[in-house]
Amino acid sequence: MGVKMLKKGLSFLDGKNEETSSDFFESQNPSNLTDIIAVFGSATKPQVEKACQRAKEAFKVWKKTPAPIRASIIQNLGKLLEKNKEALSKIVTREMGKPIREARGDVQEAIDTCNFFVSEGRRLYGMTVPSEMPNKELYTYRRPIGVFACITAGNFPVAVPSWYFVPALVAGNTCVWKPSHDTPLTSYYFAQLLYKAGLPEGVFNVVFGKGENSTGAWLIEMVGKGLIDKFGFTGSTAVGQKIGETCGRHLQNPCLELGGKNPLVVMEDADLDLAVNGALWAGFGTAGQRCTSLGNLILHESIQEPFLKQLLQKVSEIKIGDPFDESITYGPMISETFLKNHLRNLETLIEPHHKLLTEPNGQVTGKKKWKNFVGDADRGVYPFPTIVANVKPSDKIYSTETFGPLFNVMTCKNIDEAIALANNTGFGLSSAIYTNTPKIIYQWKEEISAGMTSINNSTTGAEAHLPFGGNGKSGNGSRQSGVWVLDQFTKWQAVNWDLSGKLQLAQMDTGYVEPDLQYTI
C-alpha cells in the first residue's frame, strides 16, 4: 500500500468514491506544514443522509448473516492490518505526528481487537431459562441494534475506530463513520482495508468532513430523522454533551468516550524511579494528546522534593522533534489548531501564584530552542513540556482538560487527601497510584471514581480486552473493548414459547407448593 497524495476532493466512500463536494480541506503533516498529504471534500448533508440510508438498507441483510461469517471478515481485516502495519503506521506518523513507535502500537491495538473479536462471533450467547409453567420454553437472544454512526478523534486514528466498528460489525450492525478531519488519509486506508476484507456493499460507509456546521453536525441530525439507531463519539466533553442531549430526546443511549483530568498519585513508600518514569510517559507521551494523559500529579509531601528533582532532570534530557526518529519522546501537536489551544491554555490558565517548573514554555522554534531537538522546529508545530506547581483545587487549571504536554503538581498529606484531590475534578476517566502498601492500594481501588485505574503503572496504556471508558465528565458509563462492549452493540430479546396449547398466566396459574406452616420443631 503506497502513501499517495489524494489530489481530488474525496467526500464520501462506500467501497467506491463520490467527489461532489465543493468544500475542501487539506491534511497537513504537522512536522512539516508545507507537506500537504491529501485534499478531501466535506460530505454534503444529502450525502450524509444517503450514507445512513444505505446503511439502513444493508442492515436488512447484514443482520441475517451468520455471526461467525461476519467475524471471519474481521479476521480478514486483522490479517490485512498485519500485512500493512508498517505502511499504515507511517501514514499515521506523517499525518498526525505521533512518534513512529507509538503509531505502530496504534495499529497493533487494532490488530489485537480484531483477533479478540473473531472468537466473539461464535460467542454471542443467549440463554435458555427455566419457566415456572409446564410445557413452556424461555430464551434470551442478543440482537443487533441497527445503524451505528460514529465520530472519532485524530489522536488514535486506527485503534479507536477499531474499538467501535469491529464489535459493532461482528454483532450485526451497519455503520456510518465520520472520521477526524485531522487524519482523513489514515481513515481512508482503514476503510479500504475493511472493504478489502470482504464487507458487503452498504455495510460500512464513510463521510469525510469537519464537525461544527459541517459533516459531523449533519450526521448527528440523522438521529432525529430516524436513520441512526446508535451513536458513538470520542472527543471533547462539550461536544459529547450535545450528542447526549440529542440521543436522549430520541431515547437512545450513545457511546461517549470523552476527556479526562487524570490523577497520578505518588505515596511516600513508592519506588521513585518507577513513578518518575510513569509520570514522564503519562504527561508527555503523544505530546500529552491522549484522553488518558496525566493532568494532576499528586505527590506525598514527604517525597515531593526528591521526586521533582529526579523528574525535572529526566524532562531536561528528553528528545523532541521528528516523529520518524525512533529516539524521541514526543513529536508535534496534531495540528496548528491543537498547538494554538495549548498556547491559549498557557496564557489563560496559569495564574500569578503558580510556579512554572520548566523553561522555556510555549512553542519550540529555531530561535526558541529545545536543546535535544531532532529536526527542523520552524517547519512544524512543536510545544515545550510544561509542569505547573503550586496548583490549588480552586484553580481553573486543576479541573480543565488541557490536552497537551502540560500537567500540574499538587501535594497531599495522606491517602484520604490524595483520593479527594483525584476525585474532585469532575472527570473520571483514568487514574494511577504508586505505592507498595496493600492497605493503601485497597482503599484506592475502592474509592477512586475513575473508570480505570493503574497501580504502579501509568495513567495511559489500554489493552484490547479490558473495558475502556470513564464516568462523570469523562463519559456516560459506556465501555469500549473486551466482552463488555457487546452490551453497547446488541439489545436483549426475551422469547416466551408456550407449547401447552392453552393460556397459562404467569404468577397466577403457577403451581407453587404451599408449606405446612402449622409444623413446629
Among candidate residues 150, 255, 291, 412, the one labeled active-site is: 291
Q: Is residue 515 part of a domain?
A: no
Are both 481 and 428 inside the same structural domain?
no
Is the residue at 479 inside a domain? yes
CATH number, domain of 69, equals 3.40.605.10
Which residues, 6 or more positions from 164, have their beta carbon under 8 angstroms from its beta carbon? Answer: 148, 150, 152, 232, 255, 480
Q: Is pLDDT above 90 for 17?
A: no
Domain co-membership, 293 together with 232: no
Task: Cell 517547519: give the residue.
Answer: 379
CATH at 384:
3.40.309.10
pLDDT of residue 1: 38
Mean pLDDT confidence for 4-25: 75
Residues 174 and 215 in one domain: yes
What pLDDT is attached to residue 462? 80
Q: In what order do the strands lie in the sheet with 17-18?
A: 17-18, 12-13, 204-207, 174-178, 147-151, 230-234, 255-257
φ, ψ of residue 94 in degrees (nearest 5): -70, -35
Min mean pLDDT across 43-52, 280-289, 462-471 is at 462-471
Please tell me whether residues 230 and 302 are part of one structural domain: no
Is 347 a member of any domain?
A: yes
Are 140 and 498 within 8 A, CB to CB? no
Q: What is the pTM of this model?
A: 0.95
In 386-468, the DSSP E strands lie at 386-389, 406-412, 427-428, 432-434, 454-455
Q: Give the pLDDT of residue 6.
A: 53
Residues 115 and 214 in one domain: yes
On the CB side of 340, CA atoms within 13 Å amount to 3
Please give the angle made by the CA atoms of 441, 446 and 451, to the nearest 5 degrees: 105
What pLDDT band is residue 29 in, cutting at 50, 70 and 90?
A: very high
| Identity of the residue numbered 8 | K
> Which of 274, 375, 268 has the alpha carbon at shortest distance from 325?
375
Is the domain of 185 the same as that of 310?
no
| Whether residues 224 and 240 fall in one domain | yes
The tally of domains found in the chain comes to: 2
Residue 514 lies in a domain: no
Q: Stretch 339-349: mean pLDDT, rounded?
A: 98
Is residue 31 situated within a structural domain? Answer: yes
Q: What is the mean pLDDT of residues 441-467?
A: 94
Whether residue 292 is found in the same domain as residue 248: no
Place of cell 514526543: 330
Q: What is the model's pLDDT at position 108?
A: 97
Q: How confident is the model at residue 15 (pLDDT cuts 50, 70, 90)?
A: confident
Look over the chain and give the mean of its residue pLDDT values, rounded to a whole number.
Answer: 95
- 2, pLDDT greater than 60: no
Tell me the per-residue pLDDT of 184-228, one tens digit each, with 9 for 90 and over: 999 999 999 999 999 999 999 999 999 989 999 999 999 999 999
Distance CA 424, CA 426 (A): 6
Q: Is residue 9 over pLDDT 90?
A: no
pLDDT at res. 243 = 97
d(CA 333, CA 95): 11
Ranges 36-45, 328-337, 429-438: which has the least confidence: 36-45
The confidence band for 159, taking pLDDT boundaries of 50, 70 and 90, is: very high
Specify if 27 maps to a domain: yes
Classify strands 174-178 and 204-207 as parallel, antiparallel or unpaired.
parallel
State yes or no: pLDDT of 8 exceeds 70. no
- Whether 237 and 308 share a structural domain: no
Reply yes or no on whether the pLDDT at 3 is more than 70: no
**Co-location of 169 and 111 in the same domain:** yes
C-alpha of 216 from chain center: 17
CA distances from residue 220 to 12, 196, 213, 256 in whole angstroms, order as listed = 16, 28, 11, 13
Cβ–Cβ under 8 Å, residues 282 and 264: yes
* Catalytic annotation present for 291: yes
Q: What percent of the chain has pLDDT above 70? A: 98
For residue 437, being part of any structural domain is answered with yes
99 and 150 share a domain? yes
Confidence label for 14 from pLDDT (cuts 50, 70 and 90)? confident
Residue 370 lies in a domain: yes
**Is 234 found in the same domain as 131?**
yes
Is pLDDT at 415 greater than 70 in this prediction? yes
Write down the pLDDT at residue 298: 98
- Position 464 scores a pLDDT of 85
Domain extent at residue 362: 262-465
